[in-house]
Structure 1
Amino acid sequence: MRRLEPELFLRLVRGELRNPAAAVARMGLGAAAIPYGLAVRARNLAFDLGWKPSSRASVPVVSVGNLTLGGTGKTPMVEWLARWYRRRGVRVTLLSRGYGHGGGINDEGLVLEENLGDVPHLQDADRVSLARIAVEELEAELIVLDDGFQHRRLARDVDIVMLDALDPFGLGRLFPRGLLREPIGSLRRASAVVLSRADTLDGEPLAAIRRAVDRVAPGRPFLLTRHAPIDLLDADGGSGPVADLAGKRVAAFCGIGNPEGFRRTIRPLCGEVVDLRVFPDHHRYDARDVAELTEWARRSGADLALTTQKDSVKLRTSTLGAVPLRVLRIGLEITEGLEALEGILAPLVRPVPGG
């Protein structure tokens, strides 16, 4: 089967393409989801019954993951956790697979490296081996596992699962017919469920998500968070207030898992978002991209161009021609459920001898 471009694939599975060819394609994707689902369930059962072993690190492991494809706010959550433990004097190491790294640290890793200068970050598909390196060579006292919900080879003490309020359950269908990486019932393995971008919902839609989670994972802490704009950065290390966007005509672009989430974050901050250009997740920008973006920004008539920190670490430029380029740095703000989460995290902090 010919590989679909991400944007076309999303339009197809969401039902936005309505023609006979699209209908047939969705039927084919639905058929492909059946063996995928059987394989996922068989793998999880093997781990649940101990037929597939999980290796336990000699220090606590906190995993951050999700149920769906695309961006759910895992990286801001990982950063929040690392800061929480560092404030308590715990030596933390981050582990991730490193999707799209191409032999070096990937874009998400570069963002974490930029924001967490005192927290080592290791990337490799074999996170069991990385855990040993973290403990033996980096003297880690706690490991934060990024995108670890499906990586069951490494046992964890806390499993945090992120849901995105814009599409918490991946269209309710398993990949490739939908965006679910595994069935919703897998939330039973979660220690806590975190709803990102919860500020985009209120009333019944928010209550419906809470009820759906409680049906499959009763009693789990359910946290509400928002993507809180922190500041505006440039490639030269400068920082300015988010208020500088007020009244500006902004041309935005991104290559992230959830571009609609970026749009919703920036829209109330600007005078007008004149355009949003979307690239595939983990897109590697080259000279041609920069030239095209420069021309695009010029034609848009924008006062400035805006992108994400994940994109900027691969561009390292403060302008697109005559148009200034700024980076919106985002942090995770927990608006409900902080006390419950801290009750799960705190027991993993080892007491200081003689304290």
Structure 2
Amino acid sequence: MGSESFHQIIRGQRRGPVAATARAGLRLLSWPYGLAVRLRNRLFDRGWKHTFRAAVPVISVGNLTLGGTGKTPCVEYVAGLLRERGVRPVILSRGYGAEHNRNDEAMVLEENLPDVPHLQGADRVQLAMTAVEELDADVLILDDGFQHRRLTRDLDIVLIDATALLAGEAMFPRGVLREPIAGLSRADVLVLTRCDQTSTADEQAAWLKQRFPTKPVAKAVHRPMELVGPDGVTESLEVLKATPVAGFCGIGNPEAFRGLLTQLGAPPVAFRTFADHHAYTREDVADLTRWATDLPPNAVIVTTQKDWVKLRVADLGGRKLWALRIGFQLIEGEEAFAEMLNRFTTEGTENTEEGTEERSETQP
């Protein structure tokens, strides 16, 4: 089952007896998955599974669902803000879909934050020790780290996509929840993303505040900044309003990308999607080239930075190819968010415990 078909089934977009049977089967599979997740969390909560504390503070940026909340722009925002304040952050990530030890997210961060190291690997505890001992890190940023509980964190930022209602969502594989919604009680701050792409952002914020009254809830948008082309050439977004635009992407929430193009006054005349973290092959490029030749001669093609860094071609079928660079911007709760990060810019970066040690820890 492909990624697009899976989402159509779980969202009820596919009808008929086959789709209904598939949904019933996925719900049955979600029960043992949910049980395993709850058991794992309980073991950590009660201190029965070991955790590790790094020699420097750890900030986690994660989510509750499978992809699509816009973590990479938020990680870039947090790392850039700390760097501006004289702190040396190092980003740690699992590296899903990595090729040659770097995945698309790492390549985007390297493009936009060339002075911030990014380590990828399955053992993030080992990465943390490497970052401290070899890269002199002051703060570690754990990318997609909410479910990675082996490494103790000092700040848990959890992103929630405002365009997809969280209430009533089911556990994977019947739905997109990685763990029960109650897991948000571990978070320090909840951030609703893409609030400009839906009319339900206020409704979601109210629901979160009612369900988790002690958690601050911030709102954010993913603001289009510029178009990026080969060799770092940039172009104004106004270009998109003067010519037909086509788009394609391989991300967790492709409809969010389509929505951004529409918001920019450039509703795509054609749009293609690939699986999240898709590794483009020569055959894919040839297929996209054939697709592009059917577009108007003056059309431009736009993709995401995550897709573009894996392609790096100047055009497809004679039509220019641009990447849309996205910036993370808080529109509500910015002051409280900044105060949390301020803890890691001065005396907050000092830790009384030296080295990285294994310990058994009970989470609050």
| TM range, smaller chain | over 0.9
Q: Which residue of 2 aligns with 1:192?
A: 189
Matched, 1:345 2:341: yes
Matched, 1:275 2:254: no
CA distance in 1, matches of 2:267, 2:70: 25
Q: Which residue of 1 aligns with 2:57?
A: 60
Q: Which residue of 2 aligns with 1:309?
A: 305
Q: Which residue of 2 aligns with 1:297?
A: 292
Q: Which residue of 1 aligns with 2:164?
A: 167
* Contact 1:308–1:329 (Cα < 8 Å) also in 2: yes
Q: Which residue of 2 aligns with 1:95?
A: 92
CA distance in 1, matches of 2:168, 2:253: 14
CA distance in 2, matches of 1:351, 1:343: 14
CA distance in 2, matches of 1:257, 1:239: 25
Match 2:42 to one of 40, 45, 49: 45
* Contact 1:198–1:226 (Cα < 8 Å) also in 2: yes
CA distance in 1, matches of 2:237, 2:245: 13
Instruction: Name the SS for the 2:230 alignment partner.
Output: coil
Specify whether residues 116 and 26 from structure 1 end up closer, same or farther in structure 2 by C-alpha distance, changes over 3 A only. same
CA distance in 1, matches of 2:138, 2:190: 24
Specify whether residues 127 and 269 from structure 1 end up closer, same or farther in structure 2 by C-alpha distance, changes over 3 A only. same
* Contact 2:258–2:267 (Cα < 8 Å) also in 1: no
CA apart distance, 1:201: 2.8
Q: Which runs of 5+ in 1 are unaligned?
A: none
Equivalent residue letter for 2:122: A
CA distance in 1, matches of 2:78, 2:267: 34
Instruction: Name the SS for the 2:301 alignment partner.
Output: strand
CA distance in 1, matches of 2:282, 2:207: 46
CA distance in 1, matches of 2:123, 2:27: 31
Match 2:214 to one of 199, 216, 219: 219
Q: Which residue of 2 aligns with 1:24?
A: 21
Q: Which runs of 5+ in 2 are unaligned?
A: 350-364
What whole-Å deviation, never above 9, does each CA across 1:210-257 have from its counterpart, x for those lacking one? 122123321211111111011111122101111111132111000011
Q: Which residue of 1 aligns with 2:226?
A: 231
Q: Which runs of 4+ in 1 moved over 6 A?
A: none
CA distance in 2, matches of 1:81, 1:340: 14
Q: TM-score, normalised by structure 2?
A: 0.93
Specify whether residues 300 and 334 from structure 1 end up closer, same or farther in structure 2 by C-alpha distance, changes over 3 A only. same
CA distance in 2, matches of 1:310, 1:270: 22
CA distance in 2, matches of 1:263, 1:306: 10
Q: Which residue of 2 aligns with 1:148?
A: 145
Matched, 1:249 2:240: no
Equivalent residue letter for 2:39: A
What whole-Å deviation, never above 9, does each CA across 1:68-119 have from its counterpart, x for those lacking one? 0121010000000001100110011000000000342000000001100100
Instruction: Name the SS for the 1:54 alignment partner.
Output: strand
Q: Within 5 A, what are the aligned runs for 1:77-88?
A: 77-88=74-85
CA distance in 1, matches of 2:328, 2:114: 18
**Percentage of identical aligned residues:** 50
Let me know the Cα RMSD of the aligned residues.
1.5
Q: Which residue of 2 aligns with 1:182?
A: 179
Match 2:134 to one of 134, 137, 145: 137
Match 1:286 to one of 256, 281, 303: 281
CA distance in 2, matches of 1:339, 1:182: 29
What whole-Å deviation, never above 9, does each CA across 1:131-180 have from its counterpart, x for those lacking one? 00000000000000000000000000000000001114286100000000
Specify whether residues 339 and 115 from structure 1 end up closer, same or farther in structure 2 by C-alpha distance, changes over 3 A only. same
CA apart distance, 1:337: 0.5
Match 1:325 to one of 302, 316, 321: 321
Specify whether residues 352 and 40 from structure 1 end up closer, same or farther in structure 2 by C-alpha distance, changes over 3 A only. closer
* Contact 1:171–1:178 (Cα < 8 Å) also in 2: no
Q: TM-score, normalised by structure 1?
A: 0.95
**Matched positions, count:** 348
Specify whether residues 76 and 171 from structure 1 end up closer, same or farther in structure 2 by C-alpha distance, changes over 3 A only. farther
Match 1:108 to one of 100, 105, 110: 105
